[in-house]
Structure 1
C-alpha cells in the first residue's frame, strides 16, 4: 500500500474533523489493564495499521448454516458452504460501506488508500497516530508493561461520528492491551532429555483392549499417542490437509523435523510441509533460530497425521515499539492477520491447530466477537479449528501460581477466574491437557478451563455443562465465574513430557500447546478416513462431539486445574472444565464419523 499520508494531509484532516467534534459519540472505553503504566506520547508520525470492522447483518443466518452443516443429525450435515457463499452472508449493508467510505474521505482517505477483506467487512489502512487521533477523537499514549518491559501504543477510549457509529463494530488497535503468547510450559532439560524410549516387553492395560508402553509415563512420543488413543491399526491414505499456525517469530526447523521423523516416524523421513508466509512472516532455517513452540507443533501434528499434506503458516508478530524510535508500524494481535489471510484462501487446510492465546479480558469484547465470527466463517466452510485451552488453570494463562493476577480489568479489580481467548469462542474446539497412563488431568502445570465472560453457552453443550454445574456444591466459587458462559475446554490430550528436537537437541516440553496439535493430528486422520469413503471433512467439530461422538472419548475423572489461589475445578465423570469430554478413542471416533451417508 502506498504511503499516502503527509503532514499536510494530517493538518487537513484536523481541520475537517474539528467542526465535527461535537458530533462524536463514545464507541468504546476500557479501564487500563493491571500491569500497564503510561510512559509518554508517541511521535506524531508513528504509523498505526488501523482495522475497521463493519457489521455483519446476516451473521445469525451464517450461524444457522454453520450449525446445520455441523450437526450429524441434520440432513445438511457435511454440506459445507463455499468461500463465496460465506462472504455473501457476512457482507455489510451498502449503507454501512457508503457511510464508512464517506467518513474516511473526509480525512482525505480514498478508495485506493485502504485494503478491504473479500467480504468487505474489514477495512485496513495505515495512518500516522496524529491522524488516527483526529479520526477517533482520542489521544494515543505509549504504555509500558511493567513485568515484561513491552511497550504498546494504545488509547483507553475512542469515539466515532454519530452518523458512522452504527456502521462500525470495532476499530483496532485502540483499546487492546493483550499480550498474545504461546500456551506452553517451561521447557524441561534442554539438551539433556532422556534417551529415546525403547519398546518394552511389558505394557500397561488401560482397558478396552488398549495396551500402552510403560515408557509413556515418562516420555511422550508419537507411538505413545497412537497406542493411548487407539490409532495403531488405522490404514492411512493421506487424504485431506492439516495446518499449523506459527507466530511471534517461532521458526519450524526442517532439519529438526527430519531428525524427529527418523526417531519417531521413520516412514515420514524425506517428507516436508508447505511453508506459507503471512504478513511477512519468515521461517528461518538456522538451527540456532529453531523455535521450541513451532517445532513441537509441527513435529507432533505432522508426525501423527503423516502422510496427510501439511502446511505451516508463519505470521509476522507485533513489531516492538521502542520509545523515541520511529518504529514503522504498530499492529493488532497477529492472529487477525492470519485470519484475514486464510479467509481469503479458496482451500484452507481442513484441520488447523493454534497454540497461542490471550486472557479473554485483555481482548476488547467487540474485537473478540468479531474475530470469533471469522472462526465461524471457516467452520461453515468445513475447517476444524483447534485452540489450546491455556496453561493457567482457572487463572491468567500463567503456569506460575505465584505470578497469576486473577483480577478483573474493568476498573473494579475484583477477584475473578480468567478465561482465555480464542479458546472461549464457541466456534472453535478448545483442547485441554492430561498426563500419565492411565490419564489424569495434568498437574505439573494446569489445564486452562472455565467459563467465558463474553460468549453465552452454546446449545450444543448446554446439557452436559448444566449437569456439571448442578453437581457442584452450592456456592462453590460463587461470583468467580460466569455459569452461563461458553464452557471450555471441549476435549483434551496428553500435554506433558513431549519429546521433540530443537536446534539439533532432544528436549522434553509440555503444555496445552502440545495437546492441541496432537489432537489436531488425529482430527486430520479422521478426515482421511471420511475422504476414503467419499465423505466430506468434518468441519466444525463441537456439535458432533457433544452428541453422536460423546461416547468416543476417554472420560478423565481425576485431577483439577488450580489457579487464582484455589484448586480450581475438578475433573469428574462426564464433561468438566478441566478436561472437557475427555481424550480421543480414535478407533471409536472413526466408526462414528464413517457410519451412514453423512
Structure 2
C-alpha cells in the first residue's frame, strides 16, 4: 500500500488556491512508515513531466442513465452501446473551462499543450519539473524510490495550488500527490497434490465448463494492462504456449499480442506475464493486446501510468479498442481523494457505455484489516468495474464446482460509493442469513456501501513462465474471468450482437449461471475471521465462479 505521506489529497481552498480533497492528510510522518517508497532528493529541475489536467465534464447524469439502459438485460435498449464520439459529445467540458486551463499553462510559458481525449476533458501538457512546480503554485517535486520493484517516481509531498478560476475548471492534476501502488503476485507453495491442482489452461477449461470453445468472431479483442515496469516477453509467452497449450493440443491466443503503450517489452514481469499467459491460455483464438505503462515514456517523460491507460482507451476508436480489459492494480480506496475517485468512476462509465468490460482484481489482503478496521480497496470497490475475488482448489479438482474461498481474496464494502440498486437484494440476503459475519461495530465496515467482489475465479497454484508454478493472488483470478467473458463476447459477436459491456447488472440478474462457492472465508484481523463464503452472493467470492456452459446459453438469448 502507499504510505500516508504519499496519499496526500489536495488541501482546502485558500483565497488563491484550490483543492478538491475532502480531508487533508497530516504531513511529516517518516516516508518509510507504511510503505517501501522513500524520498531521497529533489527531482531534477530539467526532468520532463507530462501533466494531465482533468477538466470538469458536463451531463454526468445523462451518461449514467445511458450506461444503465444499455447494460441492464431487462432494458429495451440493452446492448445498444454508444459510439466513442457520442460519449465524448455528452461529456464535453464547458469551453471556458478548457480555455482557463490552456491560458494558465500559456501564462507560464508552456507550449506543448494538447487534448488527450477527443473532447478535451483531459488536457496534456509537457514541461520541465521546474516549470511544473511553478504551474502548481510553487510546489517541490521529490524523487521517490521503491526498492522492491526498482521503481522511481516524481511526486509532491505537499498541497498544490491553482488560481481560483483554474481550480473551478478541473477535477485534479496528475501526477502530483498520488502514487500507483506496485503490486507483486504472491509466490506460494503449490498445494500438497501439486501436479494435480495446478491451474493450467487445460485444468481451467475443465473447471469452468469451457469444453472446446474458442473464438471465431473476427472483431473480438481482449487486453490486459501492466504498470510500473511490468514488461511483456515474447519468448516467455511462446514458451508458456509450448508447455501448456501445444502439448495438450489446445489453441491459445491468436498470434502474438499487439503491444500498446509506453512500456511494453523488456525483462519479463511476473504480474504482466501472469496476465497475458492466463488470458490467452484460456481464451483461445481471440486477438489479444498488451497495454503497458511505466510512468515514464520512452523519451524519459514522467507521467501517471493509470491515467495514461484510461486516456489511451478513451482515445482509441470503436473499431480498434479491445472490448475486455483485465487489470490487476489495486490499493486502499482512499488513496485517491474522493473527487479524483469520482472522476475515475466517470472514466469507467465511458468505457462501459461503449460496450467495454473492465475487470479488476479485488486485492490480496482479505478483508484488508488495518488498525482493527476493515478498509475497502479500489478501484475494485467502484460500482462501475467488475471486481474479481479469489478461490482455491478443493477435492475433485478440476471438476466443476471443486472450489473454496481463498483467504487472500479481498472483499467488503465501500466507504466512498453507495450500494447500487442492482445488488441490494443479494447483499441484504447475505447480511441477514450468513453465519459468522464479522462485527460491524468492531470492524467499522459500511453495509450501505457498494459491496464487492462481484464474482471470483481461481487465485492460486498458477504456472507463469519463466517464474515457475505456485503463483497466487487475485491477479490470477481477474485474467481468468476476463478470458471467460471474452469467449462469451465471441458468442454474441458470432450472432451479430453487441458485446456485453458493463457486466455487473448482467451478473446480478443471472447469478444462477455461476458456480456458487459456499465454503471458506477471506482473512480478517489477527485470529478473527473475515467474510465467510455463503449461499448466493458473499463478500469473499461474490456470486462465485463462471459456468461458461450456462452463461453462453444465457448471452445467446439476450438481444
Q: Secondary structure at the match of 1:356?
A: coil
Distance 1:317 1:25 in 2: 25
Where in structure 2 are the equivalents of 1:512-527 lying within 5 Å? 512-527=474-489
Matched, 1:244 2:241: no
Shift of 1:187: 5.2
Matched, 1:305 2:305: no
Alignment match, 1:277: 260
Alignment match, 1:477: 440
Shift of 1:46: 4.2
Q: Quick one: structure 1 residues 44 and 243, their matched pair in 2 at CA, closer, same or farther if it must change by over 3 Å?
A: closer
CA contact (8 A) 1:558 1:571 kept: yes
Matched, 1:588 2:559: no
Alignment match, 1:560: 521
Where in structure 2 are the equivalents of 1:89-238 lying within 5 Å? 89-110=90-111, 112-142=112-142, 152-182=154-184, 184-186=185-187, 188=189, 197=195, 215=196, 218-234=197-213, 236-238=215-217
Distance 1:252 1:164 in 2: 39
Distance 1:43 1:229 in 2: 52
Shift of 1:113: 3.2
Alignment match, 1:360: 333
Q: Which runs of 4+ in 1 moved over 6 A?
A: 193-196, 472-475
Normalising by structure 1, report the TM-score.
Answer: 0.80
Distance 2:473 2:438 in 1: 31
Alignment match, 1:369: 342
Normalising by structure 2, report the TM-score.
Answer: 0.85
Matched, 1:569 2:541: no
Q: Quick one: structure 1 residues 474 and 590, their matched pair in 2 at CA, closer, same or farther if it must change by over 3 Å?
A: closer
Q: Secondary structure at the match of 1:314?
A: strand
Counterpart among 410, 417, 434 of residue 374 in structure 2: 417
Distance 2:525 2:143 in 1: 26
Q: How many residues align?
A: 520
CA deviation vs aligned residue, 1:206-248 (integer Å, no higher than 9, x gap) = xxxxxxxxx2xx2111121121111215465255221111222
Q: Secondary structure at the match of 1:527?
A: helix
Query: In angstroms, what is the RMSD of aligned CA positions?
Result: 2.9
Q: Quick one: structure 1 residues 41 and 348, their matched pair in 2 at CA, closer, same or farther if it must change by over 3 Å?
A: same
Q: Quick one: structure 1 residues 455 and 138, their matched pair in 2 at CA, closer, same or farther if it must change by over 3 Å?
A: farther
Distance 1:153 1:81 in 2: 37
Counterpart among 360, 363, 366 of residue 387 in structure 1: 360
Shift of 1:156: 3.0
Shift of 1:43: 4.2
Moved more, 551-560 or 22-31: 22-31
CA contact (8 A) 1:490 1:581 kept: yes
Alignment match, 1:493: 457
CA deviation vs aligned residue, 1:532-556 (integer Å, no higher than 9, x gap) = 2221111111000011x11111111
Q: Quick one: structure 1 residues 38 and 308, their matched pair in 2 at CA, closer, same or farther if it must change by over 3 Å?
A: closer
CA deviation vs aligned residue, 1:36-56 (integer Å, no higher than 9, x gap) = 776554444444322111111
CA contact (8 A) 2:522 2:531 kept: yes
CA deviation vs aligned residue, 1:321-351 (integer Å, no higher than 9, x gap) = xxxxxx954432x121111112111121111
Shift of 1:395: 1.5
Q: State which structure, 1 or 2, has the greater radius of gyration over its C-alpha atoms.
A: 1
CA contact (8 A) 2:181 2:329 kept: no
Distance 2:236 2:104 in 1: 51
Moved more, 477-486 or 73-82: 477-486
Distance 2:545 2:155 in 1: 42
Q: Secondary structure at the match of 2:102?
A: helix
Distance 1:331 1:474 in 2: 42
Distance 2:26 2:212 in 1: 55
Counterpart among 27, 30, 53 of residue 25 in structure 2: 30
Q: Secondary structure at the match of 2:440?
A: coil
